[in-house]
Structure 1
Amino acid sequence: MRAALFDRYGPPDVLYEGEVPEPVVGPGEVLVRVHAVSVNGGEVVGRSGRLKVLLGNGFPKRVGIDFAGEVVSGPGFAPGTPVWGGLPRGRFGSAAEYVAVRPRQLAPSPAGLDLVAAAALPAVGTTAITALRDRARLRPGERLLVRGASGGVGSVAVQLGKARGAHVTALANAGALDFVRGLGADEAVDYRTDPARLGRFDVVLDAHGSRPAAYRRLLAPGGRMVGIAFRSAADIGYLLASTAFGPRRVRFFSGNPRSELFADLTALVERGAVRPVVDRVHPLAEVAEAHRALEAGGVRGKHVIRVVTPAG
Structure 2
Amino acid sequence: MRAALYDRYGPPEVLYEGRVPRPVAGPGEVLVRVHATSVNGGEFLGRAGKVRLVTDLAQRGFPKRTGLDFAGEVVALGSDQREPAVGSDPRGPAVGDRVWGGGRTFGSAAEYVVVRPRQIALAPAGLDLVQAAALPGVGTTAITALRDKARLQAGERLLVRGASGGVGSVAVQLGRAFGAHVTALARAENLDFVRDLGADEAFDHTTTGPADLGRFDVILDTVGIASGTYRRLLRPGGRMVAIAFDLRHAAASLSYIAASAVFGSRRVRFFSGNPTHRLFADLTRYVDSGAIRPVVDTVFPLADIAKAHRALEAGGVRGKYVVRIF
Q: TM-score range by the shorter chain?
A: over 0.9
Please give the per-residue CA displacement for 1:249-283, whole angstroms capped at 9, x wherever unaligned. Answer: 10111101000000000001011100000000000
Aligned residue for 1:294? 312
1:82 is matched with: 98
Give, in angstroms, the shift of residue 243 of structure 1.
Answer: 1.6
For residues 219-274 of structure 1, the C-alpha deviation after alignment (integer angstroms, 9 at most, x for no partner) is 00110000001123132332222221211110111101000000000001011100
Residues matched between the structures, number:
306
In 2: Cα distance, 1:245 partner to 1:38 partner = 38
Partner residue of 1:22? 22
* Structure 2 residue corresponding to 1:274, chosen from 270, 289, 292: 292
Work out whether residues 25 and 76 of structure 2, in 8 Å CA contact, stay in contact via their aligned partners in 1.
Answer: no
Task: Indicate if the aligned counterparts of 1:210 and 1:235 stay in contact, CA closer than 8 A.
Answer: no
Structure 1's consecutive aligned runs of 4 or more residues displaced over 4 angstroms after TM superposition are none
Unaligned runs of 5+ in 1: none
Q: Give the aligned partner of residue 195 of structure 1.
A: 210
| Alpha-carbon displacement from aligned partner over 1:65-94 (angstroms, at most 9, x marks no partner) | 10000010224222111100003x3x1000
AA paired with 2:118? R
Equivalents in 1 of 2:246, 2:309: separation in Å? 18
The root-mean-square deviation of aligned C-alpha atoms, in Å, is: 1.0
The answer for the alignment partner of 1:148 in structure 2 is 162
SS of structure 1 residue aligned to 2:312: helix
Identity rate, percent? 72
> 2:223 matched to 1:208?
yes
Match of 1:283 in 2: 301
Correspondence 1:1-312 to 2 at 5 A = 1-56=1-56, 58-74=61-77, 75=81, 76-87=92-103, 89=104, 91-192=105-206, 193-232=208-247, 233=250, 234-308=252-326
In 2, the alpha carbon distance for the partners of 1:157 and 1:46 equals 25
Unaligned 5+ residue runs, structure 2? 82-91
SS state at 2:108 partner: coil
Residue type of the partner of 1:203?
V
Instruction: Letter of the 1:279 partner, please give it.
Output: D
What is the letter of the counterpart of residue 290 of structure 1?
A
Q: Does the 8 Å CA contact 1:140/1:165 hold for their aligned counterparts?
A: yes
| Contact 1:212/1:239 (<8 A) preserved | no
Instruction: Report the Cα distance in structure 1 between the residues aligned to 2:284 and 2:54, rounded to whole angstroms.
Output: 33
Greater Cα shift, 198-207 or 47-56? 47-56
40-49 vs 257-266, greater mean Cα deviation: 40-49
Counterpart for residue 87 of structure 2 = none
SS in 2 for 1:251: strand
Normalising by the residue count of structure 2, what TM-score does the alignment of the two structures yield? 0.92
